Amino acid sequence: MGEETKSNRNRNTALVLIGAGLFLLLDHTIGFFPILAIILVLLGIHRVRSRKERKGYVLIGIGAVILFGDHITIVFSIVLISLGLFFIRSKQVHKDDTYMQKQKLVDSVRLGREPWILRNSSTWYIIGETYIDLSLAILEQKETTVILQGVVGDVDIKVPEDIGVAVTASISFGQIQVANERESGIMNKLVWQSPNYELCDHRVKLVLSYIVGDIKIKLL
């Protein structure tokens, strides 16, 4: 027991020393406030994933303000470009005007805990998360198109095997995972279609695009 306690103490001491060294190194190279901003953003993402959305988004927002406070014009430009591309893509993908369109600064979407109607839609936000389970979705059309786009996004979608799905996903920084396919790093794009897509009675097209994001689409 004593040996185990001593081993844990030595390990903790080593981790503290490594952490302190990394902090001093990063502080010397990029400065204290950028480090603080990155830590806050990472804590915020962890909070969001732990379903403490409000606190998580606050931390992400504070971190973003600290990180980009001196470059607010660049940030504002990125937001405007992202929103403009969203409107263009919505018009290109949705061939008529019978679709729902929503824009928000911060958003948290959770669908699938009870029966719900899936319709053609386009959603954009600066920072947000989207959780969709299509198992209980009511599909009124043979083919439904869903556009999700924004600056920073965490997307988790579950699709039952009886629904055909076609995915077009792109992320500037982050990762995309669809079934067994995965892309991560910088400037990622993944186009994927379920093998039974053309044979399914109901089909869903997913068009996803974020500057920074984590996209996961799981087949049930």
Name the residue ranges covered by the structural domains of the chain: 2-73, 78-219
CA dist., res. 212 & res. 186, Å (int): 9
The pLDDT confidence band at residue 217, using thresholds 50, 70 and 90, is: very high
Buried b (16+ CB within 10 A) or exposed e, 174-183: bebbbeeeeb
> What's the pLDDT at 121?
86
> What's the pLDDT at 82?
67
User: Residue 133 pLDDT > 90, yes or no?
Assistant: yes
Report the predicted TM-score, pTM, of the whole model to 2 decimal places. 0.65
- Counting Cβ atoms within 10 Å, is residue 38 exposed (0-12), middle (13-18) or buried (19+)? middle
Phi, psi of 138 (to 5 degrees): -100, 115
Report in angstroms the alpha-carbon separations of 204 from 26, 64, 85, 160, 210. Answer: 45, 34, 22, 11, 19
The pLDDT confidence band at residue 208, using thresholds 50, 70 and 90, is: very high
> What's the pLDDT at 182?
85
Q: Average the pLDDT over 121-135 and give the result.
A: 87
- pLDDT higher at 210 or 73: 210
The pLDDT confidence band at residue 24, using thresholds 50, 70 and 90, is: low
> What's the pLDDT at 40?
74
Place of tokens 């998360």: 129
> pLDDT tens digits for 154-184?
899 999 988 999 999 988 878 888 988 888 7
Q: Average the pLDDT over 107-120 and give the result.
A: 86
> pLDDT tens digits for 26-81?
555 555 666 677 777 777 766 666 665 556 666 766 676 666 665 666 666 766 77
CA dist., res. 191 & res. 197, Å (int): 14
Average pLDDT, the chain: 77
Dig out the tokens for 159 from the structure: 């699709």
CA dist., res. 47 & res. 98, Å (int): 36
Residue 65: count of CB within 10 angstroms of its CB: 13
CA dist., res. 220 & res. 218, Å (int): 6
Question: Which residues are within 8 A (CB) of 117 and not within 5 positions of it... i.e. 6 or more apart?
Answer: 137, 138, 140
> What's the pLDDT at 180?
85
- Detail the DSSP E strand segments found in 22-72: none
- Counting Cβ atoms within 10 Å, is residue 7 exposed (0-12), middle (13-18) or buried (19+)? exposed
